Structure 1
Amino acid sequence: MKALLLRLSLVVVVGLTLGSCSKASYEHLEPRFDLQGFFNGELHAYGIVRSRGGELMRRFKVNLVGSWKDGVGTLDEQFLYDDGERAQRVWTFVDDGEGNYTGTANDTLSTAVLSISGPELTLSYDISLEVGGSNYEVRFDDWIYAIDRDRVINVSEISKFGLTLGEVILVMERGHQPLSFE
């Protein structure tokens, strides 16, 4: 019994130690993610949705248009999925004047708090996700990495009740021709 309690205590201590580790800082890396600069004008993206087990679930393309005025940004995303489904998400981002941002969209259930560390932008939000005619409330945790001033890679984890359901991998580019939806 003592051995079991000792092991359990060790697991708790290790878990608390790992849980208290701070997030990695990429402040020293370039290019720094420029939210207002990148999400301004026309952008184009393409990506995939994978299941928790890594199975390809969907492919999609996105045409985006971003604009900023007085620290408030709008990002209009027009999605086309490989099965012909179309969707739109319109984000509104607000700059607090100190380089911190929050965001909401037409289908988000919570306000996303954005955090930038060097080339990395992170945001988390709850969303109502339609799948097969039913809506599910899920959590998205996004990690977006600036490759250069015109390209980013976005990896999103989709979860519910802390369990990973799948992921989205997306490449976004500025200054290229709109992606054909045909």
Structure 2
Amino acid sequence: MDSLTSFLLGGATVLALAQARSRLTGFAAQRPEDYAASQPQFDLRRHLNGEIDCEGAIFGPTGRVTSRFTGDFLARWDGNHGTMREHFRFDSGAEQRREWQLTLGNGNRFEATAPDVVGTGRGTVSGPAVQLAYRLRLPKDAGGHVVSVNDWMYLAPNGHIVNRSEFRKFGIRVAELIATMRPRVPA
């Protein structure tokens, strides 16, 4: 084996080990049942309802902030079916809108769809945590790629929500989003 082949195989092995370690010990390793015994209980119909303010940042693959944003959400429920309209404003001046259709299922499961979501997102509520996995088609100005999203929301004791999402392409993390969400306080 020549030295270039040896170097490439060694690099591939290190990358594979790093990815395996990340999936065993990192963000991707958590499971909804990890939070089942914790309080307070996240109730989608209660905590994702009404007018919601949001702010956050998106981090690129190097860990640096690539975008900051604010958002206004409006969520409404009719029995086990909910609609959440999101309006994002980015520091670049760009705006984005998304309308989620949420359907509560048996037990602690739910489904979510939106026009830029490929297929149906599958979610689980467990204790103060919500996990939603889906595939998202990015806007054309962001390349139009389809990425896999692992979205977690954690309910804080004061009713605010911390949202952390990882975006992956071919299993490699390409972006991370961290945001807070809270009920709008009437003016």
**Given the two structures, how large is their TM-score scaled by the length of structure 2?**
0.80
- The partner residue of 1:153 within 157, 162, 174 is 162
- Richer in helix (by share): 2
| SS at structure 2 position matched to 1:52 | coil
Q: 1:177 to 1:57 in 2, by over 3 A?
A: farther
Q: Partner residue of 2:107?
A: 98
Spell out the pairing of 1:10-89 with structure 2 (5 A cutoff).
23=31, 24-89=33-98
User: Could you tell me how far 1:52 is from its partner in structure 2?
Assistant: 1.5
Q: Distance in 2 between matches of 1:34 and 1:139?
A: 25
Identify which range, 96-105 or 46-55, moves more after superposition. Answer: 96-105
Q: Distance in 1 between matches of 2:115 and 2:141?
A: 19
Number of equivalenced pairs = 164
User: Could you tell me how far 1:110 is from its partner in structure 2?
Assistant: 2.2
Contact 1:146–1:152 (8 Å) recurs in 2: yes
Q: 1:35 to 1:135 in 2, by over 3 A?
A: same
- Post-superposition CA distance 1:16-72 (Å, at most 9, x none): xx69x9835211111111111011100000000001111110000000000000210
Contact 1:71–1:97 (8 Å) recurs in 2: no
Q: Partner residue of 2:173?
A: 164
Q: Distance in 1 between matches of 2:154 and 2:142?
A: 32
Q: Distance in 2 between matches of 1:72 and 1:149?
A: 25
- The partner residue of 2:138 within 129, 132, 135 is 129
**Backbone CA RMSD of aligned residues:** 2.4
Residue identity matched to 2:166: E
Is 1:142 aligned with 2:134?
no
User: Could you tell me how far 1:175 is from its partner in structure 2?
Assistant: 3.0
Is 1:173 aligned with 2:182?
yes
- Richer in strand (by share): 1
Q: Distance in 2 between matches of 1:33 and 1:133?
A: 32
Q: Distance in 1 between matches of 2:185 and 2:49?
A: 13
Q: Distance in 2 between matches of 1:177 and 1:139?
A: 36
**Given the two structures, how large is their TM-score scaled by the length of structure 1?**
0.82
Q: 1:131 to 1:48 in 2, by over 3 A?
A: farther
The sequence identity of aligned pairs, in percent, is: 28
- Post-superposition CA distance 1:129-155 (Å, at most 9, x none): 126363111111111100035301011
Identify which range, 152-161 or 88-97, moves more after superposition. Answer: 88-97
Residue identity matched to 2:42: F
Q: Distance in 1 between matches of 2:179 and 2:140?
A: 19
